[in-house]
Chains A and B, each alone.
Chain A
Amino acid sequence: MVSCHSISKSYDKVEALKNVSFDVGKGEIFGIIGPDGAGKTTLFRILTTLMLADEGTAIVNGYDVVKDYKLIRNIIGYMPGKFSLYQDLTVEENINFFATVFNTSLEENYELVKDIYSHIEPFKKRRAGKLSGGMKQKLALSCALIHKPVVLFLDEPTTGVDPISRKEFWGMLRKLKEQGITMLVSTPYMDEAALCDRIGLIQQGKFLTIDTPENIVKQYPNVLWSVMGKNMSALLKDLKMHPQIKSAYAFGDCHHVTIADNQFTPAALEKYLSERKHENLVIKVIEPGVEDCFMELS
């Protein structure tokens, strides 16, 4: 459905994208996961025909992004960052406008957007600028969907939104998948990666890896332990100083630790830490998550 071949793009002296290639199949949810500045927005703009790549080619639904841009613009939905809506128009006016622009109407495609739109319908007379972040997000999604696009491009749709709204949003996306819509979603939140069919981890203009979340996790090269104790801050310092420990990072309620030497055991670590007066120690071997993989690869 969407494929990229050796796409490169630079602004002034900055290389935003370096030789990027990937494919997305029909009906897939493809996540582009990476921090700000990694090149996500640039990539989206090239795929939605808003920008020209310096090198490389890209195809969307069989059309070339350069030559057939008009055709592509008829069939895709796009939600750029910052939920670009008309702040001084009401919810209703926004969606009707975008529907008309795409030669359709809210009534015609109501079933498609109903799940999402029904959340904000009670506020349809309210100006878009006065909605909360989560509501704006839903409105922006409805507007991007209203014409039943073949491919949906969502550029950081969950940024700056609270965890609950984020969870709801991804639930809506999965439902859209059932309608056969292909989706490319970019996000800086690693925990959202697990909700995609396949993901590409991107950092500084390059893809570190492209695969299903499960496969990426399987390819994690290290043994990973989680370590908890009473004084987490001091614990982290001591962990970092241990010669057998390759890396130690805080991960919320526990620390994730990778081991340099396979002979090293959790029991040995526990002894070492107890000697340093750490209490309530819990050390477990754990499965890595996408964030661990990202940090390993970058």
Chain B
Amino acid sequence: MTKEKIIIAEHLTKNFGHFTAVDDISFEVERGEIFGFLGANGAGKTTAMRILCGLSNPTSGKAMVAGYDVATKPEFVKKNIGYMSQKFALYEDLQVWENIRLYAGIYGMKDKDIAVKTEELLLKLGLANERNTLVEALPLGWKQKLAFSVAIFHEPAIVFLDEPTGGVDPVTRRTFWEMIYEAADRGITVFVTTHYMDEAEYCNRVSIMVDGRIDALDTPENLKRNYQAKNMQEVFYHLAGKSTRKAD
């Protein structure tokens, strides 16, 4: 059964003046896939992600996300995706349930649905007693888990995660990934960037960006075999170590 393609990127390029941040990348992501998007700092990952989220216009090339063209219909793209980053995910000075309510409302969920799903979510995360707690008072691990749940609260076709487990303790990192697995099983595509190379192994397929290009895209097993590496860390060193883009 051929699965629906959630992301179709064709010759996507982004220039800032003379500088080519994203250099002619093309790839596809299927529904329900966990897709790892790796690369060194400055390789162009963040720029590429912003284009796919409808936050930035490509200089040339095309990208369809959740069935919409990011250049011509970015607002439709935004409605159908979820987003979570390490730097910001929730409003620290709002309570837990207020954050859920806020984002659910932003994504156009109906009041009735919101109420029901909020209860379910709080129970599932074990936060039923913390619904009135300010987010800033929660430990980091709980914050990240809550942030992820809020990002997929409206059951989007795809969720973009930008280094979601940075600085989180090892146990919570793993429970977080269990949540990612669950979401993928439900049919939500997960597009994730990370600097933890062991997490790259959890992905169905991984792409590695170097100097704006995608230099490798395959399953972790195939990549390890092709580069004769023991683990994804070695694959990464092999590819990203060749980068010529040192300072940007």
Contact = CB atoms under 8 A, between A and B. Distances in A.
Nearest to B172: A35
Contacts of A167: 237
Interface stretch (B34-42, B68-76, B116-124): B34-42
Given A135-B247, A161-B41, A252 B141 contact: no
B229 to A, nearest CB: 10
A163 B41 contact: no
A131 interface: yes
B221 to A, nearest CB: 9
A164 B198 contact: no
Contacts of B245: 132
A233 B180 CA distance: 11
A243 interface: no
B106 interface: no
Interface stretch (B7-15, B23-31, B161-169): B161-169
Given A203-B169, A252-B201, A162 B39 contact: yes
B140 A36 contact: yes
Given A161-B41, A164-B237, A298-B170, 19 more contacts: A35-B167, A35-B170, A119-B246, A120-B247, A130-B247, A132-B246, A132-B247, A159-B166, A160-B163, A162-B39, A163-B195, A164-B236, A188-B168, A232-B202, A249-B174, A250-B174, A250-B198, A253-B232, A291-B170
Contacts of B224: 253
A132 B248 contact: yes
A131 B86 CA distance: 20
Interface string A237-278: 000000000000111110000000000000000000000000
B215 to A, nearest CB: 14
A281 interface: no
Contacts of B168: 35-36, 188
Contacts of A37: 139-140
11 contacts: A36-B140, A36-B168, A130-B247, A132-B246, A161-B41, A164-B236, A190-B170, A249-B170, A250-B177, A253-B232, A298-B169
B233 A163 contact: yes
A188 B167 contact: yes
Interface string A144-184: 00000000000010011111110100000000000000000
B181 interface: yes
Contacts of B166: 159-160, 188
A120 to B, nearest CB: 7
Interface residues of A, number: 39
B240 interface: yes
A135 B42 CA distance: 10
B201 A253 contact: yes
Given A35-B141, A163-B236, A164-B237, A251 B198 contact: yes
A207 interface: no
* The 10 nearest A-B residue pairs measured at CB: A252-B198, A35-B169, A132-B42, A36-B167, A133-B41, A162-B40, A252-B201, A253-B201, A188-B167, A36-B140
A32 B15 CA distance: 41
A4 B14 CA distance: 52
B231 A253 contact: yes
A287 to B, nearest CB: 15
